[in-house]
Chain A
Amino acid sequence: MSSTAPILELRDVHTQFAIRNAWGRQVGWLRAVDGVSLSVARGEILGVVGESGCGKTTLGKTIAGIHRAGSGRIWFEANEIGALTAGEGRALRRNLQYCYQDPGASLDPHWKIGRALEEPLVIHTSMPRAERRARVGEVLAAVGLPEGHLDLYPHEISGGQQRRIGLARILMLRPSLVVLDEPTSGLDVSVQATVLRLFLELRERFDLTYLFISHDLGVVRLVSQRIAVMYLGKVMECGDTAQVFAAPAHPYTQSLLAAVPVVGGRRVTETFLLEGEPPSPGALPSGCRFRTRCPLAAARCVAEEPALRVLADGRQAACHFAAS
């Protein structure tokens, strides 16, 4: 599963939101995505991890066109989509779909499931009815649900089934890239595995590429080949999953991994050292944004923001002290 050109490429993408005070006056910018560059190869699963406020969800939505990037460039399948209006972008973004954390919530409660599944085809194609029905049946079978569900309303089926329907809807247009936003968040551990397995099967069957956004490091480790770690709007480290987990280069990644409990292993509460909380995204520190909590912080970190540079083993890290 390899190809020469990446299916998705981002270069210095910024997405900002205006911060308004009680009177509606703008008092600052929330730089949710603050200069992110990365690329996704066709067929791979790139995990994007980080804690709340790191910008990973905004990044996913920006790529999907739900938010408009303030600046920077985005290429999808060799077409530049970053600068396009919503209308033009729609045609090119057809192959790029966004899956909500709870795909069931993306279903209109007043629409029957069959109709909801046909909607993407109605909007984007001019397929005749019979063909649409056939395609719906095919995808429905792929997610493992019976035909009878087509006549039901979302609230008449279980949460897990709603999730599958939501997924099926996204796959209607045969996308090539799917942005998965926190797909296992809130799920019981025993159900997580089933859902992950479904994602992998669908990827095989429909030749998909995934951008897997999650705060759950354990899950990301299981399914992604490469991983990007974000903090306050920037990528701190990016590289091969096994390498990053085995020997994280960036102090934030090290702290993050150290904070995750391991059942039966060392106890985080006895060994963990990272104190304090992330600074407010509306008021970022100068220089490196992690320096307020970093054990390695030095004068250089206050003055100069580290760029994401390539290390000896092919990984990228944004730190002045990352081992080369």
Chain B
Amino acid sequence: MSAWRRLLRDRSAMLGLAIIVALLLVAVFARPLANFPQDVTAYHPPNRLLPPGGRFWFGTDRMGGDIYSRLLFGARITILIAVVATSVSVLIGVAVGLVAGYYNNRVSDLLMRVSDVFLAVPQIVLAIAIAQTLGPAIQNVILALSVTYWPFWARLVYAETRSLRNEVFIEAAVALGASPLRVMALHVLPSIASSVIVRTTIGMGGTILVAAALGFLGLGPPPPSPEWGRMIAESRAFLPQAWWYAAAPGMAILLVVMGFNLLGDGLRDVLDPRLRRGGDAA
């Protein structure tokens, strides 16, 4: 469809896509790409806090590990957290939003009030509370993020489903005898898919930021895990002399979040207004 061609022509969206693809490749091929793959766990005190140059492209950290290599392995963690947390949130949120939006009754009200409660608390505060209670580990970060992020999707899907509920083709499907499940899954969902996709893409960026924040606060995967947020936290004691220590993971986070945002924006421009109309209107 011409929608994809338009996306391909959008340069900033393509830049975003390139960044994300690069991130994926880096995560998959971290081992061959890294100069010192062993530095994820091993340490070399003599090499500690060396500036970028020579063998250590981004310098070394306080344990003497090559920051560049650790960064590459950190990408795996980032992707894992982002993908799993976002997927779980989306699944829960979309399901809740669909049901709440389709049936306009007490159950819907209840579901939406529950999501309101979650939304009322700042996501990061809630995530901190959960991760703190459960202890620093990667699965707890994912859990904390999933639990706090699903209301965003629920709200979005709820609003769209409610407005779609009055569309003629939905009413016609109901009149035809389609069961509610069928209508929700086969008619409503494809219609709202574009909004969800856009929000998910942008949401990934947000998830990564919060995950990094949790890592920064020490609530993420414990050392020696090369999680980017944690690396920034570790660097605090050595700033501003060892600037590379914070700059490298910081830039990585920036780049990745920017990539998701750019792609998300591009997707929104392409998907949302056009799909509403469905092509040429006479």
A–B interface present (Cβ within 8 A): yes
Q: Which residues of A contact B (CB under 8 A)?
A: 64-66, 90, 93-94, 97-98, 100, 102, 105-111, 119-120, 123-124, 153-156, 158-159, 169
| Known contacts A109-B169, A110-B191; A123 and B178 CB within 8 A of each other | yes
Tell me the minimal C-beta distance from A112 to chain B in angstroms: 12
Q: Which residues in A have their C-beta under 8 angstroms from that of B168? A: 100, 102, 105-106
- Asked if B282 is at the interface of the complex by the 8 Å CB criterion, the answer is yes
A154: B residues at CB distance < 8 A: 278
The answer for the CA separation of A156 and B104 in the assembled complex, in Å, is 34
Min CB distance, B95 to chain A, in Å? 20
CA distance A137 to B279 in the complex (A): 26
A-contacting residues, B164-188, CB 8 Å: 168-169, 171-179, 182, 187
13 contacts between A and B (CB under 8 A): A66-B174, A93-B177, A97-B176, A105-B168, A105-B172, A106-B169, A106-B171, A110-B187, A110-B190, A111-B190, A119-B173, A120-B176, A123-B176
Complex Cα gap A107–B171 (Å) = 10
Which of A66, A100, A123 interacts with B182 by CB under 8 Å? A123
**Interfacial chain B residues near A90, Cβ < 8 Å:** 177
Given contacts A155-B280, A158-B282, contact A106 B172 (CB under 8 A): yes
Give the interface size class of chain B: 10 to 19
Q: Which residues in B have their C-beta under 8 angstroms from that of A159?
A: 282
Q: Is the CB of B191 within 8 A of A119?
A: no
In the complex, what residues of A have CB within 8 A of residue B187's CB? Answer: 108, 110
User: How far is it, in angstroms, between the C-alpha of A63 and the C-alpha of B178 when the chains are bound?
Assistant: 17
In the complex with contacts A66-B171, A100-B168, A119-B279 CB distance below 8 A: no
Distance (Å) between the CB of A25 and the closest chain B CB? 15
- A29 CB to closest chain B CB (Å) equals 19
A108 pairs with B173, CB closer than 8 A: yes
Given A108-B187, A110-B190, A158-B282: A64 and B175 within 8 A (CB)?
A: yes
- Give the residue name and chain of the B residue nearest to A108 (CB): B169
Q: How far is the CB of B260 from chain A (nearest CB, A)?
A: 26
CB distance from B184 to the nearest CB of A (A): 13
For the A-B complex with A65-B175, A66-B174 known, give 11 more contacts whose Cβ atoms are closer than 8 Å: A93-B177, A97-B176, A100-B172, A106-B168, A106-B171, A108-B169, A108-B191, A109-B169, A123-B176, A153-B278, A155-B279
Given contacts A100-B168, A102-B168, A123-B182, contact A109 B278 (CB under 8 A): yes
CA distance A266 to B19 in the complex (A): 75
Contacts of A155 in B (CB 8 A): 278-280
Closest chain-B Cβ to A92's Cβ sits at a distance in Å of 11
- Return the chain B residue nearest A102 by Cβ: B168
Identify the interface centre among B169, B174, B178, B187: most chain A CB within 10 Å of its CB: B169
From A120, which residue of chain B is reached at the shortest CB distance? B176
- Enumerate the 3 nearest inter-chain pairs by beta-carbon distance, A residue then B residue, closest first: A106-B172, A155-B279, A105-B168
- B residues 242-282 in Cβ contact with A at 8 Å: 278-280, 282
- Least distance between B178 CB and chain A CB atoms (Å): 6
Cβ–Cβ < 8 Å partners of A123 in chain B? 176-179, 182
CA distance A50 to B179 in the complex (A): 33
User: A183 to nearest B CB, angstroms?
Assistant: 14
- Cβ distance A205 to chain B, nearest Cβ, rounded Å: 21
Given A66-B171, A102-B168, A109-B169, residue A124 in contact with residue B279 (CB < 8 A): no
Chain B residues in 8 Å Cβ range of A111: 190
Chain A residues closer than 8 Å to B169, beta-carbon distance:
105-109
Which B residues are CB-close (under 8 A) to A107? 169, 172
- In the complex, what residues of A have CB within 8 A of residue B280's CB? 155
- Which residue of A is nearest B280, CB measured? A155
B163 → chain A closest CB, angstroms: 15
Chain A residues closer than 8 Å to B177, beta-carbon distance:
90, 93-94, 120, 123-124
Give min CB distance, B121 to chain A, whole Å.
27
- Give Cα A106–Cα B173 distance, bound, in whole angstroms: 8
